[in-house]
Structures are given as C-alpha cells and as structure tokens.
Structure 1
Amino acid sequence: MSIVSTLSILALAASTLAQKCPIILEGRVPAASTPATFDTPESLFDPKNVKGEGLKFADLLTLPKLAKPSLFDKDTQAISLSISDKSIFAPSPTNKQTGFRRVELIMAKNNGTDSSTVGQRVIHFSIQKDDTKAFNTSHEYQLMFLEDAKFSTNQVAVKTGTVAGLEKLKNPGRSGSGAAGAPKGNGTEKADPKKKGEDPKKKDAEDPACSGMPLPAGTRKAKRAVAERQAKAAVGNTIIVQGNVNTDIGVLFETEFTGGGVWHNFGIVMDYEKNTTAILYSTDANPLKEVVKPTKNEIAGQGQHHFGMLKKPTGEGLKDVTKEGFQQSPVNEAIIYGGIFIEDGAKDCISNAP
C-alpha cells in the first residue's frame, strides 16, 4: 500500500470520527425536561408505552445528576428507569402480562413503519447500572430491542442477567429458534389457558440455588447450588447482543457489565438493504469502535425500538412467559440510559463521538 493511500485512509477515519450524520429519531432529553414531561405530547417518547397499567412515567423515572454524562449527552440529560411490583404492562384490557415487569421508552415518531428501519441506520444509546437498585440476575432482562411491526420477533436484542438458552446462543447453527422461552414481540399473542407449566414458586422454594438459602456445607447438592449461583452471577455481569431471537443467529457480541458509574456505549448498525448488523462499543467518554463487523441477520419487518427493562420470570416448563413464572416481591430495580438517538448511516456515516 502506498503512503498516499495510507494517509487517505487515516484522513477518512478522522473525518468519520468527527462527522455529524443526519438524525432520524432524537431521544436525548433536553435540559429543561422534567419527569412529568414524559407524560405529555411534548415528550420525545410515546407517553403511553411501555409501562405498568395505571402508572405514569413520572412515577417510574428520574433525571439523575451524575458525575459524568454519557458519550453523546453534552447538553442533555440521563434517564433512570425503574420497575416495581406494579410494572405489569397490559397491551389490552384482557391481556395483562403478569409474567413480566416492564418499563420501556419508545421514541414518539417511531410508529413501526417510519424511516428509522429503512436503508442503513445506527441505533445509539448508553446504559449504566444503578448500583442502588440492582437487578436480580437470576432473571433475564432485555435492555434494548427492535420489535418488528407484526409483533412476531425481535430483530436485535440487548440482554443481561440469566439469559435463557445462552449456551445454545453462543453456539449458533443448531436447529431451533434462538433463546428458549424468548417472547415473540411484545407478548400480545393470546395464551392458551389450558396450558400450565410447573409451579415456579414451588420450584424456587425447593431449590436453594434459586432462593439463595444455604445448605449444609460439603453436600453434593450444596456444591451444585453454589456453582449455580456463581454461574448466574457471572452471567448477570455480562451484556449480550443477540441477533433475531426467532433464528439461530445467536450472540453477536458480549462484554462485562461493569458498574461503579461506568457508561456502556453502543452503536448498532442495521443495514436493512443488505440484511446485516454491525456493532460499535466503548465505555465512558471513549469513542465508539467497531467490535463486530457487518454480520448476516434477519432484520426485515421494520418495527419499534424499545429502551428500558423487560424483566422475564423464572421457572421451568413455562408455556407462556408473558403470564406464567415467578417474580419476587418487592421489586425495586433501575437502570440508567443516555444518548438515545437513531442516525442515518447512509454512505457509512457513523458518529463515533460527539
């Protein structure tokens, strides 16, 4: 390679880093906003979805003053979203998702068939643990996902906790449909009332690995329980990015989910023409770097981007995870978001830094 061409590539890289790409959807919260703003038509997010029945977003979020902003929050605010026992979403009066605890933000103009899911788009967001309201990592959490317009799949999903079928997801190519028990879409499908799984409360009561109760030291069951708890803790400190959940594409990326005020920044590049997904990642104020090159993924179907928490139940033999399974009580958990926006990635325009 000639010196000239090498310099050209370096110049292009520097240009890309500082480039300002067109914004398709804006979710960075203005400094003048308050929690009450999220329940009004002036909100950047849909004031109706997704939250527990009868709740307001003002009840579920705060705008915390943090020691450092997220990568793309220069003059905008972070958002802390929380779930409680009341975080039971009801897509319709007759369909209450009692198996889940949910709170998610959907950008107001993201109606499922808008321009945020055509061409090449970059989904930007940053997440930070709320160490004062920690997750119960024996559960699986979806932190960001694109749900197709037919509510039939998630084309990409960011998860943490004890992810169902994780080993299979890390070894894709086998027959099956991705994560075992993963919900299709937002769970608006009707459950079969005749189908019931094993009583998860009884299962948790019997298994100290789930309840955290100690067993006599030195017993085989005690060792197994300790090993299971350690495995769950390890998984709980991991963020994974999964391809289409109804395929065997599996895990595209994983990294440690560190706390202590660390920001985890993502740029997920969705090429809807080539049907690929690439991932950029960094921490704190470091510029985004490509960690996954464009990879084949089933991302057709447009849809809506969800940012928040979808906490799944525990339990075995569940037929409908939206309505079955165990959720401990009381629940008081939170996660912090920042720098949410979707940009036009045409001609590989990708913002690595502000």
Structure 2
Amino acid sequence: MHLLSILPFLGLALATPLHPPPPPPPPSHPHPHAPKTNIKCPIIFDGRITKNLTLQSFDTATGGTPYNPDYVKGENRTWSSILLFPKTTPPSRFDNALLHKPVEVTIDDGSLFRAGENLQTGFRRAGLLFKDDFNDAGADASDNGVVTFHWSIRQDEHRPLNLSHEYMNVWHEKGDYSGNQFMFVGGVVLVGDGGTGVDTKKEREMWKVQNAKNEFVYETRIVRGDWQNFGVQLDYVRDTIKVYYSTGDEPLKAVTRATPNSNAGGGQLQIGIAKKPTETETVVYDGYQEHIPLRGEGQIYGGIFVEDSSNGCVSL
C-alpha cells in the first residue's frame, strides 16, 4: 500500500483515546447443525440417498440416483412402486440427517425377475445395482486393490421378513454369474447354500456373512429397533475377506481377521432382497413361496457406499 494511503488511518489511530484492546473473539466452532460425516476414505461408489430424490427419481437414468433404473426387479415394475422412504427412521451412522434419508426395498408376490426368456418363479427379488459398477472383471475401481463395502440395515416392524426362508440382502456377484465373492444373508440358509436348512429360532434370528465358498465367516443376532452397520473388505491383491460391524451410532470394529477368499472374477454389488423358496430343487425356478401380505416385506437401508482402502483406510 502507498504511504500516502495509510496516513489517514495512522492519524485516526493516534487520535483515538487509549483503551485496553477488546478481548479476542471466541474460537470458532462448527455450527451444531453443520453436515458431518463418518466417512474418512476415498469413495468409489456413493449409494447414499440424498434428500432431494423422489421415488420417481429411481425410474429413469437421468433421475439423479446412483442406481441402474432397469435392474434387478420384477418385470413390468418400476422402482417407484418398489421402494419406500421411511418417514420416522433416524439417519444411520454414515448418513447425515440434513443431506440423506434411508430407503426401503420391498418385495411382494409379483417380485418375479425375468432373465432372458426365463421367469425366476422360485425367487421373490428386488435389488439395486450401481449404474457405474460394471459387470466386466476388473472394469472399475471396486474390483481392484483393497475395497470396503459399507451398508446399514434396519428392520421394518410393519413389513417383517419371513425368516423361515433364506434371504440374500447384500452380495457381490461375479462377472460370469458363477458365484459371489461374498454374501450377507439372513434366515434359514438352504443346505446347498452352506446352511443346514433346519428351521430353528436361532437360525431365524441371525445375520450371516458368507465368503466365496458359502462358508460363514461372521454371524450376529438380528436387532430390532436400531441400525446394524456392516463393512466387508475385499483385498484383491492378497485374496482375503474381512468383516466390520457395529450397532446404532457406534464405530465399526473388526469382528474377523483377514481370511483367505477367492476375490477374482470382478462383478457387481447388489443391495436389496432375494427371498429364496423352501422345498426347492433348483431354487431359481421352483419351490414354495407363501403369499406375501399386500403391504409387502421390506428391508430398510442407509449408509451405502464403497470406499478405497488400498492405503489401509477404513471408515469406522
């Protein structure tokens, strides 16, 4: 600044009576309602539902959601007729109440997916796929390095699951559809899927994480009236799987060590419900499915995202 330009300010300062300087302003603190996040790592796919989205947003590719509007759902169905936005459900650990809202996936008697010419009458199925999660092996960042898949779930007491059946709720299916790198399942798991197929109270009350061989690597009781938070980490370099878990707003904790797993084959993550039949031979095309009440069966989701953990980072 030129000397002449500062002289008036100097004169003003000299003419001002001497007083003790005012106390410094208090240290600034974040606004109590400022958006916060418990996500600390680079996000590969962000599946959290922002407040501005409507149910109809899921029906088109230009609706602004991160999900594919076409898969995987019953034929002649729209996502706006399948999904719900629970109105009284608090935000999950990795959602922010100002920015995000939970979403509920529902199924009913008409949740029949057609694969080519074949209608999968054994399943009742609806599952969200990321539109940028490509099926080709290694085609996107979620199939390389070290990746942690996150989701939170909450039970809808008005649309309960019939856990005498096996439910696949989250899974990463291989690119050639020959299997899955991991599955998150509930209820009575069929014998061919790694379970006993025996309907007991304990079997109906457990969530289970399975590896590529359908072996249970972690089990925990189904909680009512609170969120349950899961993280499944796949290390594509070392071919391992590791599970993280917490309830409510508690930080995730590692509940398994990294154990060997076959992570090859690329593929896609699916979030939703695939209800398997009982008394079945093929699972996909036959078996018993009882009538689902008109209100449907539902699973509430929040905090869905996939993060890059290659540098050892895990959002807890």
**Shorter-chain TM-score: what band?**
0.7 to 0.9
Partner residue in 2 for 1:253: 218
1:292-307 pair list within 5 angstroms: 292-307=256-271
1:13-24 pair list within 5 angstroms: 20-24=40-44
1:101-140 pair list within 5 angstroms: 101-112=124-135, 113-140=139-166
1:130 & 1:77 partners in 2: Cα distance?
15
In the TM superposition, residue 321 of structure 1 has moved relative to its aligned partner by 1.0
1:311 & 1:35 partners in 2: Cα distance?
23
Q: What is the Cα-based RMSD across aligned positions, in Å? A: 1.9
TM-score by length of 1: 0.73
2:238 & 2:106 partners in 1: Cα distance?
36
Partner residue in 1 for 2:110: 86
* Residue pair 1:19, 1:349 contacting (<8 A) in 2 also: no
In the TM superposition, residue 67 of structure 1 has moved relative to its aligned partner by 4.1
Q: Which amino acid aligns with 2:144?
A: V
Q: Which amino acid aligns with 2:221?
A: E
Q: Which of these residues, 180, 184, 198, is aligned with residue 158 of structure 1?
A: 184
* Residue pair 2:38, 2:93 contacting (<8 A) in 1 also: no
1:193-204 pair list within 5 angstroms: none
Deviations 1:100-158 (A, max 9, x none): 00011111110123221110001010011111111111110001000000011011000
In the TM superposition, residue 330 of structure 1 has moved relative to its aligned partner by 3.1
Q: Which of these residues, 285, 288, 292, is aligned with residue 323 of structure 1?
A: 285
1:55 aligns with 2:72: no
In the TM superposition, residue 309 of structure 1 has moved relative to its aligned partner by 0.4
1:268 & 1:138 partners in 2: Cα distance?
25
Q: Which runs of 5+ in 1 are unaligned?
A: 1-16, 166-176, 183-227
Q: Which amino acid aligns with 1:266?
A: F
* Residue pair 1:181, 1:321 contacting (<8 A) in 2 also: no
Partner residue in 2 for 1:40: 60
Q: Which amino acid aligns with 2:223?
A: T
2:163 & 2:193 partners in 1: Cα distance?
20
* Residue pair 2:42, 2:307 contacting (<8 A) in 1 also: yes
TM-score by length of 2: 0.82
Q: Which runs of 5+ in 2 are unaligned?
A: 1-36
1:130 & 1:237 partners in 2: Cα distance?
15
- Number of corresponding residues: 271
Secondary structure at 1:144 match in 2:
strand
Partner residue in 2 for 1:77: 101
In the TM superposition, residue 19 of structure 1 has moved relative to its aligned partner by 6.9
Q: Which of these residues, 144, 148, 153, is aligned with residue 170 of structure 2?
A: 144
* Residue pair 2:89, 2:102 contacting (<8 A) in 1 also: no
1:1-20 pair list within 5 angstroms: 20=40
1:282 aligns with 2:246: yes
Identity %: 36
Higher relative CO (Cα under 8 Å, sequence separation at least 6) belongs to: 1
Secondary structure at 1:258 match in 2:
coil
1:277 & 1:27 partners in 2: Cα distance?
21
Partner residue in 1 for 2:300: 336
Deviations 1:237-263 (A, max 9, x none): 11000001xx3x610000000112x11
Partner residue in 1 for 2:227: 263
1:82 & 1:110 partners in 2: Cα distance?
22
Partner residue in 2 for 1:189: none
1:180 & 1:322 partners in 2: Cα distance?
17
Q: Which has the higher helix share?
A: 1
Partner residue in 2 for 1:349: 313
Partner residue in 1 for 2:24: none
Secondary structure at 2:258 match in 1:
strand
2:103 & 2:70 partners in 1: Cα distance?
17
Partner residue in 2 for 1:179: 194
Note closer, same or farther for the CA distance 1:280–1:145 as it changes in structure 2 (3 Å cut): same
In the TM superposition, residue 65 of structure 1 has moved relative to its aligned partner by 2.1
Partner residue in 1 for 2:48: 28
Structure 1: 4+ residue segments shifted above 4 A: none
In the TM superposition, residue 346 of structure 1 has moved relative to its aligned partner by 1.1
In the TM superposition, residue 181 of structure 1 has moved relative to its aligned partner by 11
Secondary structure at 1:116 match in 2:
helix
In the TM superposition, residue 300 of structure 1 has moved relative to its aligned partner by 0.8
1:178 & 1:18 partners in 2: Cα distance?
34
2:265 & 2:55 partners in 1: Cα distance?
32
* Residue pair 2:234, 2:241 contacting (<8 A) in 1 also: yes
Partner residue in 2 for 1:225: none
2:89 & 2:217 partners in 1: Cα distance?
31
* Residue pair 1:25, 1:343 contacting (<8 A) in 2 also: yes
Note closer, same or farther for the CA distance 1:282–1:181 as it changes in structure 2 (3 Å cut): closer
